[in-house]
Amino acid sequence: MNPEISQLVARIQALEEELAQRLDEAQKDVRYQLEGRRIRFSDEIKRLHRQYRTGALQYLGNARPLSVLTAPIIYGMVVPLAALDLTITFYQHTCFRAYGIPRVRRGDYIVIDRHRLDYLNVIEKLNCVYCGYGNGLIAYVREIVARTEQYWCPIRHARRVPGVHSRYARFFDYGDARSYKQQLDTVRRDYDD
């Protein structure tokens, strides 16, 4: 990889780590404890949270009619999302083993925890479960497909592509046949993040 691009990638990773640390620091004001995967709020905070909860019936009564009418369409997407989840998980467990590609941990991407917040009513909690699953699943799928691309076709596109995945920077320049032929095996094995 071009040394300048390597330096930029390192700076981006450092900034992403700094952002994560700052977000963690901001969370400390909320006063909760993480114990493994469990989240613990103080009794005082739990009481405060319950005071801010809007009942489900009041929530529905205040909802825009179009929001209520389109809810079945939104929630209907859980069927194709679940099908994608099953098929992509099967795909990576079979194909990644065959090619020696490190598997992606599903639990690192699909995080469902916001339904434990007492200031949310049952409808808001359901919405949070749906969004945590859907967005986590798409991130999980993206990483699986990115690793597949890294193994089979680690070449950048000729034109700029918005929103590229984190592995894209280590791909070969478009048209760089020499590097592709000389370093493909190295790039195929470079999954250290």
User: pLDDT tens string for the chain (193 positions)?
Assistant: 678 887 888 888 888 888 888 877 776 666 677 777 788 888 888 888 888 899 988 988 999 999 999 999 999 999 999 999 999 999 999 999 999 999 999 999 999 999 889 999 999 999 999 999 999 999 999 999 999 999 999 999 999 999 999 899 889 999 999 999 999 999 999 998 7
What's the pTM value of the predicted model, to 2 decimals?
A: 0.85
87: domain range?
Answer: 54-188
Cα torsion angle, 107, 12, 39, 48, sign? negative
Count CB-CB contacts under 10 A for residue 85. 19
Q: Where are the alpha helices (DSSP H) in 77-176?
A: 78-91, 97-99, 122-152
Looking at the structure of the chain, the number of domains it has is 1
Q: Are 79 and 97 in contact (CB under 8 A)?
A: no
Q: Does 139 reside within a domain? A: yes
- pLDDT recorded at residue 97: 97
- pLDDT recorded at residue 30: 65
Q: Does 117 reside within a domain? A: yes
Q: Does 30 reside within a domain? A: no
Q: Does 90 reside within a domain? A: yes
Q: Does 49 reside within a domain? A: no
